[in-house]
A = this chain, B = another copy of it.
Amino acid sequence: MERLSLELRPQTGILEERRLRNKRTHGKCFTSFNCSLFSQWEAKASYQIATPSSGNVDSSNFLRVEPCKINGSNSAMPNWNIAKSNYNSILDSFEDEYGGIVINADRLPRDPNTFACALPVSLSYWKRIGKKGVWLKLPLELSDLVPVAVKKGFKYHHAEEAYVMLTYWLPEGPCMLPANASHQVGVGGFVLNDQNQVLVVQEKYCDSAFSGAWKLPTGFIQESEEIFSGAVREVQEETGIDTEFVEVIAFRHAHHLAFEKSDLFFICMLRPLSQEIKIDEMEIQAAKWMPFSEFVEQPLIQDDSMFKKIMEICIQRLRKNYCGLTAHPVISKFDGRWSSLYYNVGINSQDSNCHAS
Contact = CB atoms under 8 A, between A and B. Distances in A.
Interface of A: 97-98, 140, 143-144, 146-147, 150-151, 155-165, 176, 178-185, 205, 207, 209-210, 220-224, 226-227, 249-262, 264, 282, 300, 303-307, 309-310, 312-313, 316, 321-325, 327-328, 330-335, 337, 339-344, 347-348, 354-355
A167 to B, nearest CB: 8
B180 A160 contact: yes
Contact of A347 (B151, B222, B261, B316): B316
Contacts of A306: 330-332, 334, 339, 341
A156 B157 contact: no
Contact of A181 (B162, B182, B224, B250): B182
A253 B251 CA distance: 14
A281 B341 CA distance: 31
Contact of A250 (B98, B252, B255, B341): B341
Contacts of A258: 178
Given A159-B156, A181-B183, A333 B354 contact: no
A150 B142 CA distance: 9
Given A156-B159, A165-B259, A309 B330 contact: yes
